Structure 1
Amino acid sequence: MMNGGHACTGALAGAAMSGVVGAATGAQLGVAGTAVGALLGAGAALLPDLDADGATAYRSGGPVTAAVGETFQWLARVAYRTTRLPHDPDGDGEHRGLVHTPVFAVMLGLLVALGALLSPWVTAVVMVLVLAPGIGALSRSGPKWVRRRLRTHRDPVALLVAVGIVALLMWSGALTNLGWFAGVSIAVGMLVHSVGDSATRSGIPWTWPIRRRCDTCSMTVRCPGSRWRRSHVLPKPMRWRVGSPSGKAIEGVIEVVCLVLVGALMLPDVAALMAMA
């Protein structure tokens, strides 16, 4: 799946999750909370592609996100080299490897949540780096007038907007309670990304590090095993090739549907605000 599809599906997941969190905790998050949840989800859904040079998340924060991306790529290569089995595919396992696995998503989300306990500045830095690519990608997928007027589809502008949002959250005192929420958002967004990629022909290694039979060995042959075998969430005839005309059309529909649903989730809070005005 391409950046726009990842960002829009992540935004929907983030907006929905903010509603669930509000209902579970009794917190009145309002439209601002839903919007922040959507932006966090959108940015988090782009994080797995830090394992690819030049991806939106890789370049969104300049040398900082590039350094994070290079670290993730190194971890992916090390994990592949040390855990691969005889029937795993050739290659270095960098792209759509470790960073695309559910295990990595959960561990990174937990690490962010624990880091927030040490200092709210951890939350601030993480949120800036996650919000920036989400803002940029959603701007590119949204109406053209957004790009013309706000210019938030450009990485430096999106980064400045992310800094402004986090600064406002710090000023209001809300940031101190958002560390765990940011951690959960990152884990959920990254899982949404993996679902999107496994709906395409590429797939991702959902079950790593579990040892599985490979695709080529018959049931009568003892298989040496595979840990990096890629899995899919759709039957083979329904999967699309990323970047193909049909794939772009499918992802375009997904983007529109997700953005409409995000707007629908925000509508009750917007109506309540207008009634109070």
Structure 2
Amino acid sequence: MRMMGHSHALSGAVIWLASAPALAGLTPVAGNALLPAELLAGALVCAGAAMLPDLDHPSATIAQTFGPATWLLSKAVNFLSGGHRHATHSLLFCVATGLGAHALAQYSTVGRDIVVVLMIGLALRALAVGVPGRTITSAVVNILLTAALFLIFGSLGVGYGWLGLAVGIGAFAHVVGDCLTERGCPVLWPIKGRWLLPYKIGFKTGKAFEQKLLAPALSVGIVVLLYLRLMPGITMG
């Protein structure tokens, strides 16, 4: 089984908030990643990107993010990747999506904006923004809130030079998370073989550990990291 969507999204946000200072110091494309608006946008994008590998699963909730549009996208990804937990759950996919997003950020404003909107929408859907049991209504709510956030970030002058990093890191966070479950991932796809912890160690998804320990711990981590990053006079290496 795969990790639950909200756990993936929360882990993506945590990893971005934790690594933003190092990324800002290491590469010019992430130079503004610590500015408040950029930091929040990056956390949301990375959270959404942490859902990307599961677009190979048309039955997953995430495939309903924007209604028929993301369902059709999921069907296409499922066909092209060879089914669930194949090509999209690999290092190659993480690198390819990261490089692709970076290229769009550099050379295509329209393409960049489509990726940003999709990532924000995926993050909101994974965090259960919507109306339970109402697929179309939830899709409409998601679209409206996604559009609002995108416009707000635009009005605040958010740049997306770091987009490729956020997408690649988010997808990688997903792969690492699924490697900790009992099924593992084909990390080195197309080479056969799955990376996973032994069955009695790898946690069972959707059970008490994930719902009562992992997800709350990740949520607390986000709050703490946001406080450390955004509060004046507090720095963290």
Amino acid at match of 1:8: L
- Residue 231 in 1 paired to residue 195 in 2? yes
Could you say what the CA RMSD is over the residues aligned between the two structures, in angstroms?
Answer: 2.5
State which structure, 1 or 2, has the greater radius of gyration over its C-alpha atoms: 1
The CA deviation at 1:33 is 2.5
Cα deviation, 1:59-97, whole Å, max 9, x if unaligned, reads: 1122322232122112112xxxxxxxxxxxxxxxx0011
Cα deviation, 1:165-208, whole Å, max 9, x if unaligned, reads: 22223334423xx0x42222111111111111111111110122
Structure ranking higher on relative contact order (CA contacts 8 Å, 6+ apart): 2
Which residue in 1 is equivalent to 2:46?
A: 41
Give the TM-score, by structure 2 length. Answer: 0.83
Contact preservation (8 Å) 1:14, 1:38: yes
Distance (whole Å) between structure 2 residues aligned to residue 199 and residue 10 of structure 1: 15
Which residue in 1 is equivalent to 2:210?
A: 250
Contact preservation (8 Å) 2:37, 2:156: no
- Residue 17 in 1 paired to residue 19 in 2? yes
The CA deviation at 1:127 is 0.8
The CA deviation at 1:248 is 3.5
Change (3 A) 1:56 1:11: farther
The CA deviation at 1:240 is 2.4
- Residue 157 in 1 paired to residue 141 in 2? yes
Change (3 A) 1:125 1:21: same
Which residue in 1 is equivalent to 2:134?
A: none
Distance (whole Å) between structure 2 residues aligned to residue 201 and residue 269 of structure 1: 35
Which residue in 2 is equivalent to 1:222?
A: none
Which residue in 2 is equivalent to 1:197?
A: 178
> Which deviates the most, 159-168 or 104-113?
159-168
SS at match of 1:236: coil
> Which deviates the most, 11-20 or 105-114?
11-20
Which residue in 2 is equivalent to 1:181?
A: 162
Amino acid at match of 2:218: C
Q: Which runs of 5+ in 2 are unaligned?
A: 132-136
Q: Give the percent of matched residue pairs that are identical in Structure 1 and Structure 2.
A: 28
The CA deviation at 1:19 is 3.1
1:1-277 maps to which residues of 2 (within 5 A)?
1-24=3-26, 25=28, 26-27=31-32, 29-77=34-82, 94-139=83-128, 154-175=138-159, 178=160, 180-210=161-191, 227=192, 229-232=193-196, 234-243=197-206, 247-272=207-232
